[in-house]
Amino acid sequence: MTSKPARHTFPNRRFLSTLRKHGEIKDYLTHLVASDGSDRWVGINARASYDGEKIVGLRGTARNVTEQHKAALQVEYLATHDSLTGLPNRVSLQRDLETAIDDGEKGAILQLDLDNFKFINDRHGHRAGDRILVSVGSVLGDLIAESDAAVYRLGGDEFAIHLPDALRNDAQTLAEQTLNALRRFTPQVSVGGNFSPLTASIGIATYPFQGNDFATLLSNVDIAMYQAKSDGRNRYVTHDASSDEIRKTHRRLHWTREIRGALDENRLAIYSQPATCLTDSDVQPEELFARIIGRNGELIMPEKFIPVSESLGLAQEIDLRVVEKTLEFLAAAQKLPGEDRQYFVNLSVTSISDPHWIQRLDTLLSNASVNLGALVFEITENAAMSNIETTQQLIGRLRESGCSCALDNFGAGFSSFYYLKRFDVDYLKVDGSFVRELASDEASRLFVRSLCDVAKGLNKHVIAQWVETPEVLELLGPLGVDFAQGNHIAHPKPFIVPDGNALHALNA
């Protein structure tokens, strides 16, 4: 059966204008609507016949290219839209912003990143995470439905909103509306029996004032978004062009990308430093330290990235990765003969104060088929004192699972011996500032001796840190210290290397 002819001929104004100008036309594409309402696309090649300067005829061909054009449109759609949410993607955002900037328009861009979204993926799986991302796209779409704004998904849990013909105040109003809409949105994923609120960190930048090209504008809004995360999340920050703030934010942005890259690309290394026993104990303690292998192969020490990782909320991921890698090592090492070693893992204050993170740790430990008695979790005195009740509960849960606990840097926070009975730990690690001065300071010797006496009465072992000289080591035993740790004993050495070959690293 042949189809009926199309109801409309192709629009001829642009066609004839091009033909008059060039005398011929190739691959001219025109849209027709057939009598059955279906769309048709026709490709035309034509050459004009002249009588002098007057066109008196046309010769050419027309062919139905509907299927080819639909395929091209589909390819373009896939290239410019996110496959999960159906929203325009970063390619579309770049095209739209460049068009607006080139046309001399003004406007704003909001970039938002969902807070703690990795926890949802880790705890509930990526399918649940994908459902939430689709829902967030719908929430944002409903929010701007009555405006000229557009929503984009940039990848992962990052979205953007383009607000044309807008200034700073308009963008800030929309940012506040966005935060409120997300707070009201209840994900259909429960956390610990309760619904977890959804929050985001939002950065704002305006054009052309804070960027008259796509790269500069996106860099500035990215910086503002990470500033919002650093300031505590669940808020928006407008890009600040002051030099001091830019330097600080660039530093945070650098370390955020460096740490996330190290975690995503398996460039997190673990070093260990053994302690020596000063009594007749058979236990061999080893403290584990995180290091980052830079993209150029350089070793990045913890004092450079640990403080900023805590302010950015990334210390929790580092802590959990160290635990994961240590458990993998213990599972592989169970078949090997050796000393009764205990591995000390440091926990940041941001980890022990976050109930969601503690749940993740519980799950990790309960699923491990290893002797958890080989794990000792270190909590600094200052972290413990910042929330005594939470720390007590965590220590109780860790001990119930079979792990041991240590109170690190004891003496640095002036908490006195009164609080020792509040924390049911197995080890006390004397703050290194006291140990380092033992040979020259009587007050330090008195403190360490008193601590050891109290610790023995509470059935706790004492570890002296920062043992750097033979004179200090010689004093520790008579003072009652059980273990000594420091560079005089042994320097930190590779324990688990980035390629995951833990046994090779240990034996090396």
Q: Within 13 Å of residue 381, how many CA atoms lie on the same side as its CB? A: 19
Report the pLDDT value the prediction gives residue 67, as an integer from 0 to 100: 74
Are residues 221 and 304 located together in one domain of the fold?
Answer: no
H or E segment at 207? strand 200-207
Are residues 365 and 422 located together in one domain of the fold?
Answer: yes
Domain annotation covers residue 257: no
Residue 396 CA, chain-centre distance (Å), reads: 29
Rank 28-32, 186-190, 261-265, 402-406 by mean pLDDT and report only the highest: 402-406
- Rounded mean pLDDT of 139-148? 93
Rank 121-130, 363-372, 378-387 by mean pLDDT and report only the highest: 363-372
Are residues 66 and 91 located together in one domain of the fold?
Answer: no
More confident site: 40 or 290: 290
Bridge partners for 45 per DSSP: 61
pLDDT at 502 over 60: no
Domain annotation covers residue 253: no
Listed in order, strand segments (DSSP E) in 439-502 are 461-464, 483-484, 493-496
Are residues 190 and 339 located together in one domain of the fold?
Answer: no
Are residues 466 and 334 located together in one domain of the fold?
Answer: yes
CA pseudo-torsion sign 137, 143, 144, 146: positive
| 3-class secondary-structure state, position 10 | coil
Please enumerate in sequence order all residues whose Cβ is within 8 A of that of 369, keeping only pairs 6 or more positions apart, or say none.
331
**CA–CA separation, 57 vs 59, rounded Å?**
7
Lowest-pLDDT choice from 97-111, 124-138, 142-156, 409-423:
409-423
3-class SS string, 217-260: HHHHHHHHHHHHHHCCCCEEEECCCCHHHHHHHHHHHHHHHHHH
φ/ψ region of 315 (left if φ > 0, alpha if ψ in -120 to 50, else beta) reads: alpha
Domain annotation covers residue 252: no
Number of domains composing the chain: 3
Rank 50-54, 212-216, 223-227, 441-445 by mean pLDDT and report only the highest: 441-445
pLDDT at 20 over 60: yes
Lowest-pLDDT choice from 246-255, 302-311, 370-379, 485-494:
246-255
Long-range own/partner contacts, residues 337-341 (CB < 8 A, 24 or more apart): 339/282, 339/284, 340/282, 340/283, 340/284, 341/283, 341/284, 341/285, 341/286, 341/374
- Rounded mean pLDDT of 285-301? 91
Check whether the bond before 208 is cis (ω within 30° of 0): yes
pLDDT at 494 over 50: yes
Percentage of residues of the chain with pLDDT beyond 70: 86
**CA–CA separation, 495 vs 492, rounded Å?**
9
Report the pLDDT value the prediction gives residue 73, as an integer from 0 to 100: 60
**CA–CA separation, 503 vs 31, rounded Å?**
67
pLDDT digits 0-9 by tens, 192-239: 444 467 889 999 999 998 888 888 898 889 888 988 887 778 999 998
pLDDT at 365 over 80: yes
Q: Which amino acid is at 26?
A: K
Report the pLDDT value the prediction gives residue 126, as an integer from 0 to 100: 79
Q: Nearest-CA neighbor of 167 among 203, 112, 216, 207?
A: 207
Are residues 469 and 409 located together in one domain of the fold?
Answer: yes
- Rounded mean pLDDT of 310-338? 83
Domain annotation covers residue 255: no
Residue 144 CA, chain-centre distance (Å), reads: 27
Report the pLDDT value the prediction gives residue 11, as an integer from 0 to 100: 52
DSSP 135-183: HHHHHHHHHTTTSS-EEEEEETTEEEEEEES--HHHHHHHHHHHHHHHH
Are residues 217 and 273 located together in one domain of the fold?
Answer: no
Whose structure tokens read 């704003």? Answer: 108
Are residues 322 and 208 located together in one domain of the fold?
Answer: no
Percentage of residues of the chain with pLDDT beyond 90: 43
pLDDT at 291 over 90: yes
Lowest-pLDDT choice from 72-76, 130-134, 140-144, 317-321:
72-76
Q: Among 190, 208, 241, give the residue marking a domain's end.
A: 241
pTM over 0.75: no
**CA–CA separation, 384 vs 179, rounded Å?**
33
Which ranges of 334-422 does DSSP label H, i.e. alpha helix? 349-352, 355-366, 381-386, 388-400
Report the pLDDT value the prediction gives residue 332, as an integer from 0 to 100: 85
Are residues 283 and 370 located together in one domain of the fold?
Answer: yes
More confident site: 55 or 363: 363
pLDDT at 372 over 90: yes
Report the pLDDT value the prediction gives residue 194, as an integer from 0 to 100: 45
**CA–CA separation, 497 vs 493, rounded Å?**
10
pLDDT at 55 over 80: no
Give the DSSP letter of residue 498.
Answer: T
Report the pLDDT value the prediction gives residue 139, as an integer from 0 to 100: 94
CATH code where residue 113 lies: 3.30.70.270
Q: Among 50, 71, 92, give the residue marking a domain's end.
A: 71
Tell me if 121 sits within 8 A of 129, measured CB to CB. yes
CATH code where residue 437 lies: 3.20.20.450
Are residues 93 and 45 located together in one domain of the fold?
Answer: no
Q: Nearest-CA neighbor of 358 among 326, 382, 391?
A: 391
Q: Could you tell me the CA-to-CA distances from 269 to 64, 263, 264, 315, 316 in Å, in that order?
A: 61, 10, 13, 15, 16
How far does the chain reach from its first CA to its final CA, in angstroms?
A: 79
Domain annotation covers residue 152: yes
pLDDT at 505 over 50: no
Report the pLDDT value the prediction gives residue 190, as an integer from 0 to 100: 46
pLDDT digits 0-9 by tens, 377-407: 999 887 888 778 889 999 999 999 999 999 9
Average pLDDT, the chain: 84
Domain annotation covers residue 1: no
pLDDT digits 0-9 by tens, 457-482: 999 999 999 999 999 999 999 999 99
CATH code where residue 51 lies: 3.30.450.20
Tell me if 411 sits within 8 A of 451, measured CB to CB. yes
Domain annotation covers residue 374: yes
More confident site: 184 or 177: 177
Report the pLDDT value the prediction gives residue 339, as an integer from 0 to 100: 56
Report the pLDDT value the prediction gives residue 172, as an integer from 0 to 100: 95
- Rounded mean pLDDT of 431-456? 90
Report the pLDDT value the prediction gives residue 10, as an integer from 0 to 100: 45
Bridge partners for 430 per DSSP: 410, 464
Please enumerate in sequence order all residues whose Cβ is within 8 A of that of 497, keeping only pairs 6 or more positions apart, or say none.
269, 504, 505
Burial 166-203 (b: 16+ CB within 10 A, else e): beeebbbebbeebbebbeeeebebebeeeebebbbbbb
**CA–CA separation, 485 vs 427, rounded Å?**
13
Q: Among 47, 71, 95, give the residue marking a domain's end.
A: 71
Residue 35, number of CB atoms within 10 A of its CB:
11
| 3-class secondary-structure state, position 338 | coil
Bridge partners for 111 per DSSP: 160, 203
pLDDT digits 0-9 by tens, 81-96: 888 999 999 889 999 9
- Rounded mean pLDDT of 118-122? 73
- Rounded mean pLDDT of 163-188? 89
Are residues 286 and 359 located together in one domain of the fold?
Answer: yes
Bridge partners for 462 per DSSP: 428
Please enumerate in sequence order all residues whose Cβ is within 8 A of that of 278, keeping only pairs 6 or more positions apart, or say none.
476, 477, 481, 482, 483, 484
Bridge partners for 62 per DSSP: 44
Q: Could you tell me the CA-to-CA distances from 264 to 31, 236, 258, 292 in Å, in that order?
A: 48, 26, 10, 12
pLDDT at 14 over 60: yes
Are residues 472 and 325 located together in one domain of the fold?
Answer: yes
pLDDT at 503 over 60: no
Determine the structural domain holding residue 172 and report its residue range.
84-241
pLDDT at 410 over 90: no
Report the pLDDT value the prediction gives residue 2, as an integer from 0 to 100: 41
Report the pLDDT value the prediction gives residue 191, as an integer from 0 to 100: 44
Domain annotation covers residue 79: no
